[in-house]
Chains A and B, each alone.
Chain A
Amino acid sequence: MTGVNIHGIWAIYKFEMARTLRTLWQSIVTPVVTTSLYFIVFGMGMGAHIKPIHDIAYGSFIVPGLIMLSLLTQSVANASIGIYFPKFTGTIFELLSAPISAVELVVGYVGAAATKSVVIGLIILATSVLFVPLRVDHPLAMIAFLLLTSIAFSMFGFIIGIWAKGFEQLNVVPALVLTPLTFLGGSFYPLSYLPQPWHTVSLFNPVAYLISGFRWAFFGDVGDIDVRWSLGFTTGFLLLCMGVIWLIFRTGYRLKS
């Protein structure tokens, strides 16, 4: 057998997408409903009494941050459970004994996780239009950020799925690291609203770069951070995850004895 194992990649991708369809409520409906509640409470309810930010209604301002919040948590959750579950049930033997390379395996799992996240992101975007007025100044950049972020964080989730020894570890990073970073990364406010030294401290929050860049794609130059930094950071994080995954497969870390 030579060349790329296209059938193998497709088999993993289809399997993972089928898993999503089997758990449709949990996979797609729940995040959409949760985010819609944010729109109702913070966008339409409280947002109506908050003054516009850079001439953008508060309800609209938080849309990129909310999409990013879902995108990050869903990417990590989908990819981590995707690779953790075969480890948990023992079916990992089939993946390890198959003529499929590490790259092909990652493309299958990360591709499926990223697809799900992008679909959820787009559904949330469409839902937001029902609640708040919205414009997208740079649609191509928005799609690019959506794709880059979902792929990068799906890879991050893949790493967590391999690292995790139990369901608790699987949930600890999304719950205790990712969600706080997203909330403190300017999802609901511009970083410039924070007093010093918290404004400077926020610049060390990697998620702030993602949210700022994504917000730029919607509303132009209203972000806290230059869009080039945002793009550079997202690409850098993607490359870092690729490197870690390469190392995992090279050493067999928590996959092979």
Chain B
Amino acid sequence: MTSILSVNQVSKTYGSGQRALDHVDLEIRRGEIFALLGPNGAGKTTLISIICGIVTPSSGTILVDGHDAIRSPREARSKIGLVPQEISVDMFSTVESTLRFSRGLFGKGPNDAHLEQVLKDLSLWDKRKAQIRELSGGMKRRVLIAKALSHEPDILFLDEPTAGVDVSLRRDMWKMIGGLRERGTTIILTTHYIEEAEEMADRVGVINKGQLLLVEDKAELMKKLGKRELDLSLADPLEAIPPGLDEWHLSLEDEGHRLRYTFDAQAERTGIPSLLRKLAELGIGFKDLDTSKSSLEDIFVDLVERKDEETVA
């Protein structure tokens, strides 16, 4: 798959001396959904703002579909649509007029059919004559997405698109984003909701303290770093883990009612059969067992914490 966006060695140090990005390299593939994860202040919004031309990088280069974003900003920016994190829109404009404004600003002539389609896709058609200040928070967020789509971008940046949005609207948005991908739009989203990335993304990037810690195919990442857990509900509670079970590094949960075994799902030997045999040997019975795999959130937290520990060390 070809690359539509290349970020090369991009760094940003603000006037205050704060280093927001540190030599970030990133390749975005054409047509994919890429999720950029990171805690608050990690540098997600700064990275997006630099790519979109809102913030000037201290160093590095950015190519948007082959166009240098700094030397040829007009060509580069015409490919990009941005949905910002904050609801920043002229509240006195009507939905329809604000879409026409965005389309014009990006150098596109009027196209009523396209705007109608965008408004209908986002369930805003009935509200097209309404002033934006009259709309609910969720509707306003949809307007921001509609504005970004009004000029038919090849790349769509969604900065925390579902922040403060109720569950059903969030699902609608995921569906809409999926539909955009099917039509060939490349989507880059930042999110705090790991389930959002887990649900939609093809690839995931984790950023923390201005450094891109990893970029990985979501499924590969979960396979590579994903841990599984075996939970055994004990017939009789234990006060402590018997010494004979040391080699499995078990943990005792739920006031001794549950034994938890964490194992690598990809390992040749999971250690489960031997554990079960040992339990039988020691006369420890169990009523039920359950397995679960770690979520992207667990992987993300693990990665960030590990990196923090490395930094401290």
Report A's interface with B, CB cutoff 8 A. Answer: 1-2, 5, 7-8, 10-12, 14-15, 18-19, 22, 89-91, 93-101, 252, 256-257
Contact = CB atoms under 8 A, between A and B. Distances in A.
A90 B88 contact: yes
B14 A257 contact: yes
B235 interface: no
B295 interface: no
A8 B107 contact: yes
Interface in B47-90: 49, 52-56, 73-78, 80, 82, 84, 86, 88-90
Contacts of A97: 52-54, 77, 80, 82
A19 B103 CA distance: 18
B84 A7 contact: no
Contacts of A8: 104-107
Interface residues of B, number: 36
Contacts of A100: 74, 105, 107
Nearest to A19: B92
B82 A99 contact: no
Contacts of A19: 92
Nearest to B73: A99
Nearest to A11: B104
Nearest to A10: B104
B282 to A, nearest CB: 63
A93 B147 CA distance: 12
Given A7-B107, A8-B106, A98-B105, A93 B90 contact: no
A246 B106 CA distance: 21
A256 B106 contact: no
Nearest to A3: B107
B101 A15 contact: yes
A98 B75 CA distance: 10
A251 B73 CA distance: 15
B90 A91 contact: yes
Closest 6 CB pairs of A and B: A11-B104, A90-B88, A97-B52, A99-B78, A99-B77, A99-B74
A256 B57 CA distance: 10
B75 A93 contact: no
Contacts of A96: 52-54
Contact of A98 (B56, B90, B106): B106
Nearest to B144: A94
Nearest to A5: B107
A10 B302 CA distance: 51
B54 A256 contact: yes
B109 interface: yes
Nearest to B77: A99
B49 to A, nearest CB: 8
A100 B93 CA distance: 21
